[in-house]
Amino acid sequence: METTKILIGYAIYLPVALTLTFIVSRTLFKNGKIFMLDIFKGREDIANATNHLFETGFYLLNVGFALMILQMSVYDNTYCTLVEELSYKIGGFAIYLGVMLFLNLYFFFRGKRKAKESQIKNTVVFKG
């Protein structure tokens, strides 16, 4: 593929991938704060710190993956091929982001369940 078309592809792919990452991350961790507060029994300082650590890890994984799959290996010199390559890359990255979103939701729900189990164990009074 012609260098100019590859650069056009990069110029389209990178902003789209980074914007998708930002939107998904912002939505997930804005709403995830509620789960963290529940998990950590209202202790806002530790809930915020943990939520920010999860968010940082989310950004690192997703931006890293977006950059890792950046290479365009299309050798046909048409804009049609460029659009097809971009749709494959952006679509694949969107699917990956969806999987990461659900994985994080799983961790939030798992943490909430563990916190609830711990709370039940601590409130059970044994009669002797």
pLDDT at 20 over 70: yes
Assigned token pair, 73: 């290996």
Q: Is residue 124 helix, strand or coil?
A: coil
- Closest by alpha carbon to 51, among 110, 119, 107? 107
pLDDT band at 17 (very low <50, low <70, confident <90, very high): very high
Q: Provide the pLDDT for residue 124.
A: 60
Tokens, residue 51? 């939520």
Least confident of 1-15, 44-58, 84-98: 1-15
Which is more confidently placed, 120 or 97?
Answer: 97
pLDDT category of residue 14 using cuts at 50, 70 and 90: very high
Sign of the C-alpha dihedral computed for residues 66, 72, 78 and 84 taken in this order: negative
Helical segments of 1-128, H only: 3-39, 44-68, 79-123
The residue behind tokens 């789209």 is: 16
